[in-house]
Structure 1
Amino acid sequence: MEEAIKAEFEKSGFSIDQDDHILDRLLTYCINYKLTPSDLVSNWEIYYLNRQLNGLKLENSHMDGFLSHLQNEVKEKLIKEEPHLHIYSSNDVEMLLNSEPDDREESFLDTPSKYERPYVENSASTPRANEKPSSSKESKANSTRITPFGQRINKFTSQFVFNAHNMVDGSSRQEVEDIEDDLIRRVQPGPRCSLQVHLSQPEPGCRFMYDRIEDRFNSLENRIRKFSNLFAASGLYGELADATLASQKNIFAVGLIICDGEGHLNEKSILLQGSVEHSGGQRVRLDLSNLTHFSLFPGQVIGIEGNNPSGHCLIASKVVDYLTSSSDADLPPAKKPAVNQEARLSSSSESKVLSVVIAAGPFTTNDNLLFEPLQELLAYARRKQPQLLILMGPFVDSDHPDIKKGTADQSFGDIFHLEILRRLQDYNEYMGPGVRVILVPSIRDANHDFVFPQPAFDINLPEDSTQQITCVANPSLFSSNEVMFSCCTVDILKQLSSEEISHNPPDMQSADRMGRLATHLLRQRSYYPLYPPAVGVPLDFSLAPEALEILPSPDVLLLPSDLAPFIKLLSVREGNEEEKRCMCVNPGRLAKGIGGGTFVELYYCEDVDNTNASIIRI
């Protein structure tokens, strides 16, 4: 029999590790479950594909999981034959010992879940003391399901530390000894942080899909005109000229980078579109062969110095994509008093110290809708007790396989309220009034408006939760304890990465590309400077054009992306002068495939030099 089993595995392309115990166990499985060698191999192939195992060798470490698979197959077969049969398991014993009379009777009558063996969480991952039960009976049943995410070994490993030399100072505030009593920490919560939302447009319930060609033209023209006025006011480059006119002299012009074809931008397809005021909106081809370095993308507004001897091609000698100016110059007059007044009010009572946990969706793995990564994140936040928790969409991801196929047994709104909002309400109730949560939507949210700029979630919360959960638009500008945050959940970094062309001299080949892409947003003073927008981005210029402007220089710029997570210090310079410095954070995705992803824990203290942050893999 053992030889037959071995031969059947080899026939299917699998090999068995040189261990007699493996064949003995496989023989036992055949006897106990009345399987032929071919049936056993068929079950192994199903288990191998579902678990996405590597290699074709059957090892001893696979046997326990394979046994659970066989047991589940037998149980499902029995349940189909006898629908009212309940197979008792360790879950029933655990439920009786934990004294949960409310759900006991109903649980006995329910059909057991596919995976019966309970998943015992690490005690360091989820606090047990005074923890509220889950909000729904379904979540209790699902908590016993074994998933690849639940079987991971390493939890909350630090992947990268920003300003590691400051961790000694910040660790006393950030890290809490595991032996400290949880009840004491809850009785003595940290100070409640302030929160001011400076820009969150458009408003919920706005009308969209009314974008006109006129709106798009006016938006681009206003960007060119704004930069033209700044260059002219500086007095550094002389009078602005029309780049389309033939001239033997060097001129300085301002315009928008355009590609002359359907494909990606390249050095031979770059056009400069001037403003209506200076060139009637005409375009001229650019020759960049004389430049030692440049970084350009479609939609970028630049100042360019050069000459156009033929009238058909502007030969560039210098490109200026940023002009030094005070941040107040960028603020509309109506916005200046409000922001300044809030700053004065907060500066009198608040210090620029803040502890934050930052995470971006998806918040569940793509093999289920159990939202296990979100549950682990909230468990981590319960232990570390940050003052502010920033969660960025997608929350109900439209790219999730179950959402795409329409196999979810709840509406998108119900999933959002049951799996996201209820967990957050439990988290707030557990943590007390000293914690704040900010929710930022994404265009990938299946339960929200598909438009960009995107209004905030319009949700009805109890009065106590309203004081702790704040919904802002995408993009948005808000501050907490005087720390200014700018946030945009559209993956602009990934889109710029595919559209940008750059050239560096040989001694600058190791330049930081991710930092350069993020710096483009600050230089262009826009959350989305790319034009035309990437496929799948519902950019609507009729909705609050000022919503896309990065007004003051932020302390922290949040740009969640599918690209590798990072924490970088951005400096926008004009010459040798350092004009703007801010921290750019890409927390990555909390869930990736069937496993966990990353999030960021940040401790801001007065300025970026004294700030430390960590990218943590969940």
Structure 2
Amino acid sequence: MSSVEGEIVAKFGAKARDDSSFISTFQKMMEIFDYSVEDLFLKWESYIFANNLNDLELTSENLKSLQSYIQHSLEKKLNVGGSGSNVNSSLNVSVKKIRPKVNFSSPSMFGLPSTPMTNSIKKRKLDYSITGTPLSTASKLSSASAASSASKPNIASTPGIDSGNNGKIIETLNADIEPSKGLDLENGDKFFKIIANFDSKKFKFKTMRQKLLESADVLDDQIDSFANIIQQHYQFDSFVFGNPAIASQNEIVAIGRIVPDSPLIPQDAILNSDSLYLETSRLNGIGQRVPLNLKNIENYSFFLGQIVCLKGLNPTGESFVVKEIIQLPLLGAPVTSKKELKEFNKLQQNQSIKIIVCSGPYTSNSNLDFTYLVDLVERINNEIKPHLVIMLGPFIDITHPKIADGSIEIPNLSKQPDTLQDIMKTTVSPILKTINNKIQVLIIPSLKDVNSNHCAYPQDSLDKKLLALPKNFKCFPNPCSFQINEILIGISNNDIFKDLKDVTRGDSDKQNRFDRIANHIIEQRRYYPLFPGSMKTKKVNSIQNNINKNEYSTKEEELIEHISGADLDIPYLGLSEFSDVIPDILIIPSELRFFARVVKNVVVINPSNFMRQNSPGTYVVLSISPPDLGENGLTKIDENKTTNEDDQLYIHDVWKRARVDIFKT
């Protein structure tokens, strides 16, 4: 069996191995669409998700439908320019566009060139797979095998996911680490401290009150603050920085934001290297935008809203020719003194900490039945026994079909709730209250939660009193960062992995997409670095009545209705930035496939949805070993020269001592 065939079997399960026709069909589709195995598997999951199927069973009819689904998706992207667009439907067509000159007459940062350069032909990714290293691990579905390594995390997983795997482990990161025994519910001693690294009062702002100048100031400040960071880090002289929009024969260093060639492009438009512009701040370039010429750069990954530092020149005044991409300096890793680590070890009795993470929705799309949530709570109390439960919304999804059309009927309730807020109090809260009161629970909202009064990101926490939750519950905002003893955890409940669509070339194009996006988050120092944020809409029909003197007629119009999305509150985006250090663990739920990876020594986790459409989803259980202060334990900071041994600082190295198990709901 070839390596490609083995990877197909690992992704799609044993049934693909038993029937050779499946493998040949997959290989033919990979050749037609120029897909890697991982590309094809992501499309397969997308097809299942879009068609509300309950499992991943392989059949010939399903594979034919998958091919039609992929073809339809590509045709839709090719026609993204609308009916007036002159785009050829062939995948091999290259579209040549004439580059417009930049309109420098507008000094405003919102002054834009008039002609968009957005191309609708997408270069297919050839290979997502990369070699696992301590800085980046590939999370592949393969047979369970764990080769122990002190410096490299390993992943073991079970091929094929079906409804028979409920409550079973389907993938593991660092399988060589023993799982935690969990909380001793009989003794229930205080096992850890939770320290919030945010000011909850700052999240009490009123949404939908954005002012244009305030938004412009925040966007400018993002660029200017990075300019100061880069200058200090690389010790650049101030004269090396310049305005990339001004014609010059000298090389300069330019700092700005990646933007599209036109603000009028559709949300789902596919960008390319010819459609990327650099926007400057008012301080370093009077807000002008200039096209980027990337012909000299072999490896890059750019997305809208990305702050970049580029070295190059603008010889003609028409475009900035990039010669080098200067890497943004990274934040440091969190450290703790030896004295504090000893105290934390004593507090947790030198035992592992166990954490469970799950993300809504908690019901299927067909009803508002919380049976799976009840089963999870029973499992938490009787089997898992975690020290901490992290639950992310939506708990009651405002986009749920039953909520949207008003046909709300809660099973097994004598009296149906009167308001949307009552649904949470009468259905979800009673279930959550049955969690053992010795287990600490953190509640983090979603922009889709009906109980949230905050409809924009960053988002204030849910009202604990209004939801009638007991003392062992804490409500945190979205996003937030907090410590569990020495471990720093960052959480953002906004789907950046699905929303961010980057333009790649070279090695970046071959890198796993999840690793690439996680890299961007860490480098940009923001939980949601995309700008503008994604917008999700749906088409609705509206009947317009026209009444004249002697006639009555109706006219049906198609309207676009906003249903959900990132919904960024720009003046308060500073609340979505990292603090002074990179988190040890980064949790960002996404509708896409679950994963647990190590990126730049950060454990990045996507628990995915607890319920996926009309089928069970996944949740995550972490087991984090206590810090080892021996010679082969945590990394010591050599630069910290101190006479007192207790003041010696250590990097947490959570990526070496954290086991992540992904369970089927």
The interval holding the TM-score normalised by the smaller chain is 0.5 to 0.7
Distance 1:464-1:212 versus aligned 2 partners, 3 A rule: closer
Matched residue, 2:461:
456
SS state of the match for residue 165, structure 1? coil
Q: Which residue of 2 aligns with 1:147?
A: none
Deviations 1:69-120 (A, max 9, x none): xxxxxxxxxxxxxxxxxxxxxxxxxxxxxxxxxxxxxxxxxxxxxxxxxxxx
Name the counterpart of 1:477: 481
Over 3 Å counting, the alpha-carbon distance change for 1:492 and 1:346 in structure 2 is: farther
- Residue 457 (structure 1) shift: 0.6
- Partner of residue 5, structure 2: none
Give the C-alpha shift of residue 615 in structure 1: 0.8
- Label 1:203 to 1:415 Cα distance change in 2 as closer, same or farther (>3 A): farther
Displacement after TM superposition at 1:537 (Å)? 2.5
1:349: Cα distance to partner? Answer: 5.8
Q: Deviations over 1:574-614 (max 9, x none)?
A: xxxxxxx2111100100012221000000122321121111
Residue 144 of structure 1 is matched in structure 2 by: none
Q: Does 1:170 align with 2:179?
A: yes
TM-score by length of 2: 0.61
Pick closer, same or farther for the CA change 1:164–1:170 going to 2, 3 Å.
Answer: same
**Cα pair distance change 1:204/1:343, threshold 3 Å:** farther
For 1:223 and 1:317, the matched residues in 2 are separated by 23
| Paired position in structure 2 for 1:276 | 282
Q: Deviations along 1:437-474, whole A, 9 cap, x unmatched?
A: 000000011221212111001121799922x1000001
Give the match for residue 233 of structure 1: 232
1:313 equivalent in alignment to 2:311: no
- For residues 50 and 222 of structure 1, do their structure 2 counterparts lie closer, same or farther at Cα, with a shift above 3 Å needed? closer
3-state SS, counterpart of residue 527 of structure 1? coil
TM-score, normalization by structure 1: 0.65
Structure 2 CA distance for aligned equivalents of residues 324 and 186 of structure 1: 41
Alignment of 1:83-94 (within 5 A): none
- In 1, Cα distance between the equivalents of 2:663 and 2:582? 27
Q: Cα 1:199–1:159, aligned 2, differ >3 Å: closer, same or farther?
A: same
CA distance in 1, matches of 2:465, 2:375: 25
Contact 1:398 1:444 in 2 (8 A): yes
The equivalent of 1:257 in structure 2 is: 258
Q: Which structure 1 residue ranges, 5 or more long, are not aligned? A: 1-48, 57-150, 177-184, 329-335, 572-580
Tell me how far 1:186 sits from its aligned partner.
3.6
Q: In the alignment, is residue 601 of structure 1 matched against residue 621 of structure 2? A: yes
Deviation for aligned residue 1:55: 12
1:565 is the counterpart of 2:571? no
Match of 1:524 in 2: 524
Residue 104 of structure 2: aligned partner? none
1:485 is displaced (CA, Å) by 1.1
Amino acid at match of 2:353: L
Q: Is the 8 A contact 1:191 1:387 kept in 2?
A: no
Task: Give the corresponding residue for 2:470.
Answer: 465
Letter in 1 for 2:173: F
1:420 counterpart letter in structure 2: V
Structure 1 counterpart of 2:64: none
Q: Could you tell me which residue of structure 1 aligns to residue 209 of structure 2?
A: 210
CA distance in 2, matches of 1:52, 1:277: 54
Distance in 2 (alpha carbons) for counterparts of 1:201 and 1:285: 41
Pick aligned residue for 1:588 from 581, 598, 608 = 608
Whether contact under 8 Å (2:290, 2:319) holds in the other structure is yes
Q: Is the contact made by 1:193 and 1:388 (CA closer than 8 Å) also made in structure 2?
A: no
Q: Which has the larger radius of gyration?
A: 1
Inter-partner Cα distance in structure 2 for 1:321 and 1:236: 14
Pairwise CA RMSD? 3.2
Alignment match, 2:578:
550
Q: Please state how far the C-alpha of 1:493 moved relative to its aligned partner.
A: 1.2
Once residues 451 and 595 of structure 1 are traced to their aligned partners in structure 2, the CA distance between those partners, rounded to angstroms, is 29
Counterpart Cα distance in 2 of 1:542 and 1:201: 17
Moved more, 411-420 or 455-464: 455-464
What is the CA–CA distance in structure 2 between the aligned matches of 1:50 and 1:421, rounded to whole Å? 28
- Counterpart residue type for residue 374 of structure 2: Q
CA distance in 1, matches of 2:422, 2:596: 34
Task: Flag the structure with higher helix content.
Answer: 1
CA distance in 1, matches of 2:236, 2:174: 39
Task: Give, in angstroms, the shift of residue 519 of structure 1.
Answer: 1.7
Q: Are residues 1:199 and 2:205 paired? A: no
Amino acid at match of 2:619: F
Per-residue CA distance 1:212-257 (angstroms, 9 max, x = gap): 1112111110000010001111235543222122222221111111
Which residue type is aligned with residue 514 of structure 1?
F
Name the aligned partner's letter for residue 158 of structure 1: I
Give 1:478 deviation, angstroms.
1.1
Counterpart CA distance in 2 for 1:495 and 1:51 is: 23
Equivalent of residue 158 in structure 1, options 169, 173, 177:
169
1:45-84 matches, cutoff 5 A: none
- Alpha-carbon distance, 1:310 to partner: 0.9
- CA change 1:549–1:403 in 2 (3 A) is same
Name the CA distance, whole Å, in 1 between partners of 2:430 and 2:202: 24
Q: What pairs up with 1:101-112 in 2 under 5 angstroms?
A: none
Whole-Å separation in 1 of the counterparts to 2:317 and 2:385: 64
Whether contact under 8 Å (1:562, 1:588) holds in the other structure is: yes
One-letter code of the match for 1:162? L
Which consecutive segments of 4 or more residues in structure 1 shift more than 6 A? 49-56, 342-346, 461-464
**Contact 2:192 2:344 (8 Å CA) reproduced:** no
Native 8 Å contact 1:210 1:542 kept in 2: no
Contact 1:438 1:471 in 2 (8 A): yes
Deviation at 1:556, TM superposition (A): 0.8
Measured at CA, do residues 237 and 417 of structure 1 come closer, stay the same or move farther in structure 2, by a change above 3 Å? Answer: same
Q: Distance in 2 between matches of 1:463 and 1:593?
A: 28
Task: Output the CA distance in 2 between the equivalents of 1:464 and 1:482.
Answer: 27
Aligned equivalents of 1:51, 1:315: Cα separation in 2: 48
1:538 alignment partner, SS class: coil
1:214/1:509 Cα in 2 relative to 1: closer, same or farther (>3 Å)?
A: closer
CA contact (8 A) 2:391 2:443 kept: yes
Aligned partner of residue 306 in structure 1, secondary structure? strand
Say if 1:202 and 1:455, in contact at 8 Å, map to a contact too: no
Amino acid at match of 2:292: L
